[in-house]
Amino acid sequence: MAGITFFHYIHKDTALHRMDGRLKLLCVLLLSLAAGFAQEWHHYLAPLGIAVAAIAAARLPVAALLKDMKFFAAIIIIVLVSDAFNIPGDPIPGFPIASVTMQGVEAGLRFAARLTIIIMVCTAMTGTTSLLTFKNVIEWYLRPVPFVPEVRVATMINLTFVLIPVIFDSFSEMMDAQKARGVQSRKNLIKRVGFMVVPLLSQTLRRADEIVYAMESRCYSELRTRAVFKAHGADWGILALCLAALAFVALARFAA
């Protein structure tokens, strides 16, 4: 494998690894909402601090995570440049391009902060939760919903998370292979993108077919024993901390 850390489960014996998956998913939603509600820069500190503490407590490889951020850097740069040029406002003093506004740059930086926090929170979730546990959690939450095949939906979501790291790994491996063959030296950007997209799409579809054949050969069925969850005091404490972060951000925004 290419060694991509994002969206991979990393087995360790920590409090976050042992945490009840149901409460862990709630914490992800609460911190994501807190990042979305944040307006002032100091509002981001609450969810960001919890996300950093979670990654540290889970003993996830920070250096590898920072290296893998390059996959999301392109999205952040595109949005930052787009906001800087398209959002009206005051020009930046001394900046050579007059159409770049301070309000646009600030909006782009806010988006970057929100996306970074959400990525960190999701990384802490996927890095400390096995796919089987994640599937059981989704199924548990969907079980009370009428007319929803909870097992089927949970399996579909689980397979999506199976394919995400496969796509990242395949992309990294193809990038290394094409660099070794000097493809990046080609001046035609369309051909360079084609050399990457077509094999990546083909390999992803092939991997999806292999997963389907493997499930069929093992006689996969939706009739399975339901998982049993048990929350501890520390789990509720982490949930309360995430809820407090959301309450702080929401009150600071809507009370202003």
* 186-219 confidence digits (pLDDT tens): 666 677 677 777 888 888 888 888 888 888 888 8
Mean pLDDT of 86-99: 80
What's the total number of domains in the chain? 1
Domain that holds residue 101: 15-254
Specify if 9 maps to a domain: no
Asked if the model's pLDDT at residue 8 lies above 70, the reply is: yes
d(CA 3, CA 116): 21
Per-residue confidence band for 27, with pLDDT thresholds at 50, 70 and 90: very high
Mean pLDDT of 103-125: 90
- Higher pLDDT: 188 or 97? It is 97
Per-residue confidence band for 54, with pLDDT thresholds at 50, 70 and 90: very high
Residue 201: per-residue pLDDT: 84
Residue 243: per-residue pLDDT: 96
Query: Residue 152: CB partners within 8 Å, gap ≥ 6?
Result: 222
Query: Residue 115: CB partners within 8 Å, gap ≥ 6?
Result: 72, 75, 76
Specify if 6 maps to a domain: no
Mean pLDDT of 171-178: 78
Mean pLDDT of 44-52: 93
Percent of residues in the chain assigned helix, strand, coil, to nearest 5: 75, 0, 25
Specify if 177 maps to a domain: yes
> Helix or strand or coil: residue 11?
coil
Percent of the chain with pLDDT over 70: 94
Residue 182: per-residue pLDDT: 72
pTM: 0.81
Specify if 2 maps to a domain: no
Residue 92: per-residue pLDDT: 82
Specify if 164 maps to a domain: yes
How long is the chain?
256
Which range has the worst mean pLDDT, 19-23, 36-40, 189-193, 217-221?
Answer: 189-193
> Helix or strand or coil: residue 147?
coil
Asked if the model's pLDDT at residue 183 lies above 70, the reply is: no
Mean pLDDT, the chain, whole residue set:
85
Specify if 4 maps to a domain: no
Asked if the model's pLDDT at residue 247 lies above 90, the reply is: yes
8 A C-beta contact, residue 73 and residue 17: no
Residue 2: per-residue pLDDT: 45
Residue 223: per-residue pLDDT: 77
Percent of the chain with pLDDT over 90: 32
Specify if 200 maps to a domain: yes
8 A C-beta contact, residue 163 and residue 207: yes
Residue 1: per-residue pLDDT: 41
Asked if the model's pLDDT at residue 68 lies above 80, the reply is: no
Specify if 7 maps to a domain: no
Per-residue confidence band for 175, with pLDDT thresholds at 50, 70 and 90: confident
Long-range residue pairs from 136-141, CB within 8 A, at least 24 positions apart, any chain: 136/21, 136/226, 136/227, 136/229, 137/21, 137/22, 137/24, 137/25, 137/229, 139/226, 139/227, 140/22, 140/227, 140/229, 141/22, 141/25
